[in-house]
Chains A and B, each alone.
Chain A
Amino acid sequence: MKLKINGKTEDATEGIRLTDLIVQRGVESPEMVSIELNGEILEKDGIDAVILKENDELEFLYFMGGGAK
């Protein structure tokens, strides 16, 4: 099935769990990522339950510091 991840269309296994996708993609420091699914930011405790479906849009949003020091 097709997913849109960070703005790009990508292939993924039918019915893959979000947690498995995170592992599969080797998402760097998952604790440092906020995940938006179809325009909604997911609650941290809600991620485990998410099963992805065709045309879902995912955004992995990273904490970004820096600027002053």
Chain B
Amino acid sequence: MEFTDEQIQRYSRHLILDHVGVEGQEKISEAKVLVIGAGGLGSPVLLYLAAAGVGTIGIVDSDVVDLTNLQRQVIHFTDDVDLPKVTSAEEKINKINPDIRVITHHEFVNSKNIAGIIENYDFIVDGTDNFPVKFLINDACVLAKKPFSHAGILRFDGQIMTVVPGESACYRCVFPEPPPPDLVPTCSQAGVLGALAGIFGTLQASEVLKYIIGIGDLLTNRLLICNALKMSFREVKLKKRAKCPICGENPSITTLIDYDQAICDLKQ
């Protein structure tokens, strides 16, 4: 593809990077990335992917913008309260970079629709806040062999890993089953430092871009953990688990599962 003069200026700081260049920027422009959840994590992911020129960006979110979101969900503004998050996010992406084709999915993902939603994308970003969907995304991506980025944040803590199905440990290799619903605090119950969403969302966006361009070492077989109070990062080595119920040698899970949502999530 040929870049216009405007695009050459817009992407100049990528084009002069040894590891990106014209070839890398072309890959970015041709890439299709799906972001599930346009919230705390999804906001910075979407902003940076749009700025980077990711050709097609899909956004899945069934929610509308709430005043309590604005402390960390930086793609949404005060005037956007009550607008669907996908609409609010799409508007900002169009303003940042008119090159991007945005596809919005104003719905929940579930075991019935997720395979159809993810199938046209090259990379999936998990920006969700609840375990039923985190496990659903893992399982759907493993079954469809789609690479994805997992991240989770709570209070002052966060964790992130990249999964390349077939090659690296999946989420279930680390966490075989969802936790009991009543034991899990959500951000609305436990709170979360807003800027922590920015730290982890930008880490996810960096992984997406590295995967698309094919450079560096992905955060595969590693769980990166951060505590923002101590501002310490730690990496835990992981490996594919032979007994993993979805990507192991004898998988017991072969179809997608809708786990029960914690009641506190539904009540919101």
Given the known interface contacts A66-B187, A69-B187, the answer about A41 and B174 at a Cβ–Cβ threshold of 8 Å is: yes
B184 and A67 form a contact (CB under 8 A) = no
Q: Within residues 1 to 30 of chain A, which ones have a CB less than 8 A from any CB in chain B?
A: 6-7, 29
Q: How large is the interface on B (under 10, 10 to 19, 20 to 34, 35 or more residues)?
A: 35 or more
User: B249 CB to closest chain A CB, in angstroms?
Assistant: 14
B58 interface hit (Cβ, 8 Å) = no
B186 and A66 form a contact (CB under 8 A) = yes
Given the known interface contacts A36-B236, A61-B174, the answer about A67 and B241 at a Cβ–Cβ threshold of 8 Å is: no
Number of interface residues of A (CB under 8 A): 22
Given the known interface contacts A29-B183, A32-B184, A39-B239, the answer about A67 and B42 at a Cβ–Cβ threshold of 8 Å is: yes
B179 and A63 form a contact (CB under 8 A) = yes
Chain B residues, CB < 8 A from A41: 173-174, 176, 238, 241
Given the known interface contacts A34-B175, A59-B236, the answer about A64 and B153 at a Cβ–Cβ threshold of 8 Å is: yes
Q: Within residues 25 to 69 of chain A, which ones have a CB less than 8 A from any CB in chain B?
A: 29, 31-32, 34, 36, 39-41, 43-44, 59, 61-69
B243 and A43 form a contact (CB under 8 A) = yes
Q: Which of B63, B152, B197, B239 contacts A65 (CB 8 A)?
A: B152
Chain B residues, CB < 8 A from A64: 152-154, 157-159
Could you jot down 29 A-B contacts, CB within 8 Å? Answer: A29-B183, A31-B183, A32-B183, A34-B175, A34-B176, A36-B236, A41-B173, A41-B238, A41-B241, A61-B223, A63-B131, A63-B152, A64-B152, A65-B130, A65-B152, A65-B154, A65-B185, A65-B187, A66-B152, A67-B41, A67-B128, A67-B197, A68-B127, A68-B128, A68-B129, A69-B63, A69-B69, A69-B265, A69-B268
Q: Which residues of A line the B interface, CB within 8 A?
A: 6-7, 29, 31-32, 34, 36, 39-41, 43-44, 59, 61-69
